[in-house]
């Protein structure tokens, strides 16, 4: 993809981020590349510790300065490399062009300020509004996320609202300035199942109206099926497979992706034993030289001691596995197709 392809909103290339920990220098993000086009939703899937959140923070350049740094790569957003911007320029991007929703709204909303004030701050900061105009915009922002009677909630404090409402407020803050890219870091994990569906629908509707793109971090394949046009699977700091959602479900080519999908019980069909993936996620300070999934992989062979080059299998379907072409049989999930096709 060339730098000026206008359909591509975000182009992350070979991103590397290092952290200084008690165990030494580790690289939770080690050569991550993906793209997000205008109007599409890319899912970022992986276990905890795979580097998903750090990737997101890196895009916004919000890694803790004292102990972490981006060591290499490019993050091209709307044609400009974010890694070359000054801090002041980044501040203009954050909240306005790229926004983020965090996982737990109880801790991500400031407990000492009313909800209305927190939304107002985002708007005032980037759009310079004051007074009654500001207030109108705040109410509109709250209404957009389908909070009923928004005027009555302006002075509520976060602890007084339910989890679903709070996450909507977080959404209002993120969407207030109409960002081109919304990064959602497991926004529904802390919500009740019933509320989850509503919230996801809300995000989808907003996306359709505004044409914004989403980078959706999740470990839940059900959410992936619902929300994402394309999926990238991460393991131990690298993307092991990326493809359109349908393809991932129908023909996962990486053993890790397969294993993740196999963990999902099929709704139709006979009752089966629940399977997990053997072993533990690797210690980032002591990574194996070759494929990082090899220690847990049922298909590992000698060749896996060298890190597999990325293979482009079909249109947009990339895998990093020497044995990718062998995994062609469909999975149980594809057969059952429980969640419905993504839009």
Residue ranges binding another protein (CB under 8 A) = 18-22, 25, 60-63, 65-72, 83-87, 90-96, 99-100, 102, 104, 107-113, 121-122, 125-126, 157, 159-160, 170, 173
- Closest contact distance (angstroms) between CB of 99 and another protein is 7
- Closest contact distance (angstroms) between CB of 155 and another protein is 9
Assign residue 197 a region (left: φ > 0; alpha: ψ between -120 and 50; beta: otherwise). Answer: alpha
Helix (H) or strand (E) holding 185, with range, is strand 181-185
Give the nearer residue to another protein in terms of CB position, either 180 or 257: 180
For 39, phi then psi, to 5°, come to 80, -5
- Closest contact distance (angstroms) between CB of 326 and another protein is 39
Give the nearer residue to another protein in terms of CB position, either 123 or 240: 123
Which of 295-317 are b and which e, b meaning 16 or more Cβ less than 10 Å from the residue's Cβ? ebbebbeeebeebbebeebeeeb
Q: What Cα–Cα distance (Å) separates residue 123 from each residue in 81, 95, 132, 231?
A: 25, 9, 13, 32
- Closest contact distance (angstroms) between CB of 130 and another protein is 16
Please give the DSSP secondary-structure letter assigned to residue 96. Answer: T
Give the nearer residue to another protein in terms of CB position, either 181 or 224: 181
Give the nearer residue to another protein in terms of CB position, either 122 or 223: 122
- Closest contact distance (angstroms) between CB of 229 and another protein is 24
| Alpha carbons 116 and 209: distance in angstroms, whole number | 24
Give the nearer residue to another protein in terms of CB position, either 102 or 138: 102
| Alpha carbons 336 and 234: distance in angstroms, whole number | 24
Give the nearer residue to another protein in terms of CB position, either 95 or 252: 95
- Give the number of other CB atoms < 10 A from CB of residue 135: 16
- Closest contact distance (angstroms) between CB of 38 and another protein is 21
- Give the number of other CB atoms < 10 A from CB of residue 103: 18
Q: Is 5 helix (H, G, I), strand (E, B) or coil?
A: coil
Give the nearer residue to another protein in terms of CB position, either 92 or 314: 92
- Closest contact distance (angstroms) between CB of 64 and another protein is 9
| Alpha carbons 28 and 12: distance in angstroms, whole number | 15
């Amino acid at each position: 993809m060339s730098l000026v392809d206008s359909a591509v909103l975000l182009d992350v290339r070979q991103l590397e981020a290092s952290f200084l920990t008690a165990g030494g220098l580790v690289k939770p993000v080690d050569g991550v590349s993906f793209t997000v086009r205008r109007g599409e939703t890319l899912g970022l899937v992986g276990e905890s510790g795979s580097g998903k959140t750090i990737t997101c923070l890196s895009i916004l350049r919000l890694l803790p300065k004292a102990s972490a740094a981006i060591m290499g790569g490019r993050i091209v957003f709307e044609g400009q490399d974010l890694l070359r911007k000054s801090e002041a320029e980044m501040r203009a991007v954050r909240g306005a062009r790229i926004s983020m929703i965090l996982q737990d709204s109880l801790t991500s909303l400031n407990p000492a300020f009313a909800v209305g004030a927190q939304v107002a701050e985002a708007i005032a900061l980037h759009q310079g509004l004051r007074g009654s105009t500001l207030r109108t915009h705040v109410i509109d922002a709250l209404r957009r996320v389908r909070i009923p009677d928004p005027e009555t909630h302006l002075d509520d404090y976060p602890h007084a609202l339910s989890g679903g409402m709070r996450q909507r407020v977080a959404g209002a803050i993120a969407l207030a300035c109409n960002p081109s890219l919304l990064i959602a870091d497991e926004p529904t994990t802390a919500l009740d199942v019933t509320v989850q569906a509503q919230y996801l629908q809300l995000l989808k509707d907003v996306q359709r109206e505004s044409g914004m793109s989403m980078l959706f971090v999740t470990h839940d394949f059900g959410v992936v099926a619902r929300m994402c046009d394309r999926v990238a699977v991460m393991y131990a700091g690298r993307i092991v497979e990326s493809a359109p959602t349908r393809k991932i479900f129908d023909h996962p080519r990486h053993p890790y992706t397969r294993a993740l999908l196999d963990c999902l019980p099929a709704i139709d069909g006979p009752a089966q034993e629940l399977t997990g993936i053997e072993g533990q996620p690797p210690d980032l300070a002591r990574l194996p030289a070759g494929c990082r999934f090899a220690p847990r992989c049922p298909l590992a062979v000698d060749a896996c001691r060298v890190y597999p080059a990325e293979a482009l299998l079909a249109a947009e379907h990339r895998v990093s596995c020497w044995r990718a072409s062998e995994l062609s049989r469909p999975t149980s999930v594809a057969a059952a197709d429980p969640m419905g096709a993504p839009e």
